[in-house]
């Protein structure tokens, strides 16, 4: 056990984690030259195209140092804020972390939040200054930033370049010298932490775990503590590039487990595996169910594809356990699903995977967050509102609470004013302002999650010319004065366009929505009124004017009364049309609400 090292790589998105992992695999000879490719651990097409890590990846390397053989278990983690729960469980499975900072971009918000996660778990931090070969690299300045952040000495910061291979041997030596070996007792009952799971269509769910105490054997009768279900360990092994089956995985090691589970819901990340005959009494701390932050409706374009969409979503859920969905129906869009996502990037990825992997074209409604409503009748009973149509009648409402977040933004000092005015416009309250250096400022805000769901991130990048990084964590529910704004087309409420908004913003957003829809809805043979309403009160109206056929074209010359007679006749026909007219809404109209500031 003294020769095992478990470590993860943490960094802000795009600071070179996956490329550094490639170099470590090369240096330890884990990958043959035939298997080599850039970002080897990012196996999904989407990950490779966008250059982001979506899932954690674990791999075992063997390395000889000063005549001794060491086993290094590396966990490559996602860098995006949406996947921070996955990062937190990966960190809990390690004793050390490589903290990677881009020498050109310096420290970003996600770097700091992942660092705090690692420090809470008492991990040994090895700072690595990546991309030192770039012409724009500020090696001395960024090294000073890291020293200020960690309180370490400048000699401990390893300069490296994952692209050219500078500093890779030093990183491997530092992992062996500085990361402590795993602690644990081989004689105690089995206690293992699940830090990830992957779905294999042929073998069911493969569970990735780290043994804290005891050992796990092939054929052993095991139990998952959070779900309380028991299984046989059909196969256990270690994670090389391909799986390597073993008879036993001992204390401190990382491995995979196949039990033939077909339901992804039965394997929860953060759960504890134990022996079912002699179970351990204490669960590993920190387990929680993944909480979706953003909700949106996903509907098939053709109602007949509903069952096919359900099958696609279920298959997708096997690979992505943080996707939550339940059936719902909408008067405007027919049958579909109400889905819960970790954030807007997660929503985008799910939508894209549905289209690529399952050939499903879907309509996505406006994303919103989950609210809690309380009525006068039962002021203590919580009513969960995931959809604006679930909100009780305004007369019976006591209060509505919405989720708040603590937002951390790191930006250049030139853009502080712009960032502050954006956050205040989004109902944020500033709680802290710290100058990390003379050039860089860390701002902390308490803001409603609903305000950052739409276009906040894009606008933050715009006002800061791309120099702001953003990270957030939930801080609970707070009471707010919210109203439901409905959109009426031709006098009918379109439930897919309804939104819960703060009372102060309702009028402006209602007005903008009507103006935007007027541009997008195609003209018909009759006038279409577009209205925004709070309850029975109309707050804004726009009209899509009717197209009209030129019925007087055949009257050339002659008396005006002949023309008037034809126009009157057309008018009567138009009146009759308005009563039965239905409006077609293009897909852009549903998403236009997100881009009201464009």
- The CATH number of residue 224's host domain is 2.40.30.10
Residue 267 three-state SS: coil
Do 80 and 55 share a structural domain?
A: yes
How would DSSP label each residue in 66-133? TTEEEEEEEEE---SGGGHHHHHHHHHT-SEEEEEEETTT---HHHHHHHHHHHHTTPEEEEEEE-TT
Do 381 and 311 share a structural domain?
A: no
Do 172 and 76 share a structural domain?
A: yes
Residue that is last in its domain, among 150, 178, 206: 178
The annotation places the binding site for GTP at 14-19, 130-133
pLDDT digits 0-9 by tens, 290-323:
677 778 888 888 778 888 888 888 877 766 767 8
At 10 the pLDDT is: 81
CA 562 to chain centre: 66
Residue that is last in its domain, among 247, 275, 303: 275
pLDDT at 408 over 80: yes
Q: What span, in angstroms and rounded, lies between the C-alpha atoms of 112 and 408? A: 9
Q: Is residue 20 part of a domain?
A: yes
Do 430 and 409 share a structural domain?
A: yes
Long-range contacts of 140-145 (CB under 8 A, 24+ apart): 141/106, 141/437, 142/101, 142/103, 142/106, 142/107, 144/437, 145/101, 145/106, 145/107, 145/436, 145/437, 145/440
Nearest-5° Cα angle at 374, 370 to 379: 150
- Structure tokens that stand for 17 in this block: 């984690």
pLDDT at 287 over 70: no
At 487 the pLDDT is: 86
Do 250 and 357 share a structural domain?
A: no
Work out the burial of residue 190: count CB atoms within 10 Å of its CB; fewer than 13 is exposed, 13-18 middle, 19 or more buried.
buried
Q: Name 299's bridge partners.
A: 363
Do 100 and 17 contact (CB within 8 A), yes or no? Answer: yes
Q: With cut-offs at 50, 70 and 90, classify the pLDDT of residue 483.
A: confident
Q: Is residue 183 part of a domain?
A: no
Do 246 and 117 share a structural domain?
A: no
Q: Is residue 414 part of a domain?
A: yes
Q: Lowest mean pLDDT of 65-69, 83-87, 458-462, name the range.
A: 83-87
pLDDT at 1 over 80: no
CA distances from 129 to 156, 157, 468 (A): 10, 7, 20
β-pairing, 96-102 vs 124-130, is parallel
| Crossing angle between the packed helical segments 84-92 and 109-120, to the nearest 10 degrees | 40
Do 122 and 14 share a structural domain?
A: yes
Q: What span, in angstroms and rounded, lies between the C-alpha atoms of 501 and 159? A: 49
DSSP 292: P
pLDDT digits 0-9 by tens, 192-244:
888 777 777 788 888 888 888 888 888 888 888 877 888 888 888 887 767 78
pLDDT digits 0-9 by tens, 348-395:
888 888 888 888 888 887 777 788 888 888 878 888 887 777 788 777
**Residue keyed to tokens 């409503």:** 373
> For residue 447, what is the domain's CATH number?
3.30.70.240
Residue 211 three-state SS: strand
Q: Is residue 73 part of a domain?
A: yes
At 255 the pLDDT is: 85
Do 48 and 169 share a structural domain?
A: yes
Nearest-5° Cα angle at 153, 152 to 155: 130
Do 217 and 125 share a structural domain?
A: no
pLDDT at 43 over 80: no
pLDDT digits 0-9 by tens, 553-577:
777 777 888 888 888 888 787 766 6
- Structure tokens that stand for 337 in this block: 């699903």
Looking at every residue in the chain, the average pLDDT score rounds to 79
Q: Is residue 235 part of a domain?
A: yes
Of 17, 109, 83, nearest in space to 460 by CA: 109
Q: Is residue 280 part of a domain?
A: no
Q: What span, in angstroms and rounded, lies between the C-alpha atoms of 259 and 224? A: 11
- 517's CB contacts (< 8 A; 6+ apart) are 487, 489, 497, 530, 542, 589, 592
> For residue 336, what is the domain's CATH number?
3.30.70.870
Q: What span, in angstroms and rounded, lies between the C-alpha atoms of 194 and 207? A: 7
Residue numbers of the domain that contains 250? 191-275
Beta-sheet strands, E only, within 413-468: 429-435, 440-448
Residue that is last in its domain, among 338, 365, 392: 365
Do 317 and 206 share a structural domain?
A: no
Domain count, the chain: 5
> For residue 109, what is the domain's CATH number?
3.40.50.300
Task: Provide the b/e sequence for 50-85 (b: ≥16 CB within 10 Å).
Answer: bebbbbbbbbbbebeeeeeebbbbbbbbbbbbbbbb
Q: What span, in angstroms and rounded, lies between the C-alpha atoms of 589 and 516? A: 8
Q: Is residue 283 part of a domain?
A: no
- 454's CB contacts (< 8 A; 6+ apart) are 367, 593, 594
| Helix extents (H) in 447-496 | 449-453, 456-463
Do 139 and 41 share a structural domain?
A: yes
At 319 the pLDDT is: 66
Q: With cut-offs at 50, 70 and 90, classify the pLDDT of residue 174.
A: confident
Beta-sheet strands, E only, within 182-280: 191-200, 204-213, 216-217, 221-224, 230-232, 235-239, 243-246, 248-249, 254-258, 272-275
Of 265, 367, 286, 369, nearest in space to 85 by CA: 286
Q: Is residue 34 part of a domain?
A: yes
Q: What span, in angstroms and rounded, lies between the C-alpha atoms of 218 and 216? A: 7
The annotation places the binding site at 14-19, 130-133
CA 181 to chain centre: 33
Work out the burial of residue 546: count CB atoms within 10 Å of its CB; fewer than 13 is exposed, 13-18 middle, 19 or more buried.
middle
- 95's CB contacts (< 8 A; 6+ apart) are 5, 6, 7, 123, 124, 179, 180, 181, 182
Work out the burial of residue 469: count CB atoms within 10 Å of its CB; fewer than 13 is exposed, 13-18 middle, 19 or more buried.
buried
- Structure tokens that stand for 106 in this block: 């310096």
Do 375 and 355 share a structural domain?
A: no
Q: What span, in angstroms and rounded, lies between the C-alpha atoms of 566 and 553? A: 10
pLDDT digits 0-9 by tens, 417-476:
888 888 888 888 888 888 877 777 888 989 888 887 766 777 787 787 767 777 777 888
> For residue 499, what is the domain's CATH number?
3.30.70.2570
Q: Name 40's bridge partners.
A: none
In the chain, the largest separation of any two C-alpha atoms, in whole Å, equals 110
């Amino acid at each position: 056990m003294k020769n095992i090292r478990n470590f993860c790589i943490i960094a802000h998105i795009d600071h070179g984690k996956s490329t550094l992992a490639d170099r470590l695999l090369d240096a330890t000879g884990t990958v043959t030259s035939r298997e080599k490719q850039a970002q080897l651990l990012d196996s999904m097409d989407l990950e490779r195209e966008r250059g982001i890590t979506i899932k954690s990846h674990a791999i075992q390397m063997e390395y000889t140092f000063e005549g001794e053989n060491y086993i290094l278990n590396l966990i490559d983690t996602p860098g995006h804020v949406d996947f921070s729960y996955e990062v937190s469980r990966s960190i809990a499975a390690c004793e050390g972390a490589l903290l990677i900072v881009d020498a050109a971009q310096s420290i970003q918000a996600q770097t700091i939040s992942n660092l705090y996660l690692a420090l809470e778990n008492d991990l040994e931090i090895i700072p690595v200054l990546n991309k030192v070969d770039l012409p724009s690299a500020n090696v001395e300045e960024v090294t000073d930033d890291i020293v200020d952040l960690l309180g370490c000495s400048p000699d401990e910061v390893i300069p490296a370049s994952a692209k050219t291979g500078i500093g890779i041997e030093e990183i491997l030596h530092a992992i062996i010298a500085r990361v402590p070996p795993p602690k644990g007792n081989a004689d105690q009952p089995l206690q293992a932490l699940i830090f990830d799971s992957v779905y294999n269509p042929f073998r069911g769910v493969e569970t990735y775990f780290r043994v804290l105490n005891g050992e796990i054997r092939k054929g052993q009768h095991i139990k998952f503590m959070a779900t309380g279900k028991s299984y046989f360990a059909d196969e256990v092994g270690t994670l090389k590039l391909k799986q390597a089956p073993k008879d036993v995985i001992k204390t401190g090691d990382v491995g995979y487990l196949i039990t033939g589970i077909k339901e992804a819901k039965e394997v929860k990340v953060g759960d504890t595996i134990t022996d079912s005959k002699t179970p351990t009494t204490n669960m590993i701390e920190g387990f929680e169910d993944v909480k979706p932050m953003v909700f949106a409706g996903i509907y098939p374009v053709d109602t007949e594809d509903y069952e096919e969409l359900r099958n696609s979503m279920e298959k997708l859920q096997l690979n992505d356990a943080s996707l939550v969905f339940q059936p719902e129906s909408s008067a405007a869009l027919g049958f579909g699903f109400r889905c819960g996502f970790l954030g807007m990037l997660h929503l985008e990825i799910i939508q894209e995977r549905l289209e690529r992997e399952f050939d499903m074209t879907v309509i996505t409604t406006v994303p919103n967050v989950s609210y809690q409503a309380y009525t006068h009748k039962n002021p203590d009973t919580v009513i969960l509102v995931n959809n604006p149509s679930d909100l009780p009648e305004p007369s019976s409402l006591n209060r509505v609470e919405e989720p708040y977040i603590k937002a951390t933004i790191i930006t250049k000092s030139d853009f502080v004013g712009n960032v502050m005015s954006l956050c205040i416009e989004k109902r944020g309250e500033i709680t802290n302002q710290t100058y990390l250096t003379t050039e860089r400022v860390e701002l902390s805000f308490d803001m409603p999650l609903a305000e950052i769901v739409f276009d906040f991130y894009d606008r933050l990048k715009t006002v800061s010319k791309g120099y702001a990084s953003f990270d957030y964590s939930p801080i609970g529910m707070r009471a707010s004065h919210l109203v439901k704004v409905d959109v009426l087309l031709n006098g009918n409420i379109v439930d897919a366009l309804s939104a819960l908004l703060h009372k102060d913003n309702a009028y402006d957003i209602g007005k903008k929505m009507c103006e935007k829809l007027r541009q997008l809805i195609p003209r018909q043979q009759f006038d279409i009124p577009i209205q925004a309403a709070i309850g029975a009160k109309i707050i804004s109206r726009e009209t899509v004017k009717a197209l009209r056929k030129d019925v007087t074209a055949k009257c050339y010359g002659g008396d005006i009364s002949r023309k008037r007679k034809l126009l009157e006749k057309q008018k009567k026909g138009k009146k009759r049309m308005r009563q039965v007219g239905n409006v077609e809404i293009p897909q852009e109209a549903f998403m236009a609400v997100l881009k009201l500031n464009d």
